[in-house]
Amino acid sequence: QVQLVESGGGLVQAGGSLRLSCAASGRTFGSYPMGWFRQAPGKEREFVAAKTTSGGATYYADSVKGRFIISRDNAKNTVGLQMNSLKPEDTAVYYCAARAGSYYRSPASTDEYTYWGQGTQVTVSS
């Protein structure tokens, strides 16, 4: 019943911006951590950003800190990712993730998350 659906991906020129959104259904995740990961061909899925709750702690990978902003909207049960100053190395499939519980020690670990979206492609051209 739980479903996470990402949207907002696309092709953008280096230096541009995109905003990803993840809509969750089947469960309310306002009290639980949600995050974003990405995976490029030939590479492992890597952590991008996470937020425990709408007003909780925020975590970013060093590679995106200062450029990406994660947000939570409990009323809409969504998590967003504003991506600015995009670089070609940001090209990847971006996945939304959510936990089934509040226990949270390693936001950068894929093992911390129970539910995953189908992914949305982000391509950054030079």
> For 46-83, what is each residue's pLDDT tens digit?
999 999 988 889 999 999 999 999 999 888 899 999 99
User: What's the chain's Rg over C-alpha atoms?
Assistant: 13
Please name every residue paired with 38 in a beta bridge, in sequence order, or none if there are none. 46, 94
Q: How confident is the model at residue 93 (pLDDT cuts 50, 70, 90)?
A: very high
**pLDDT of 110 higher than 80:** yes
Q: How far apart are CA 47 and CA 126, in angstroms?
A: 23
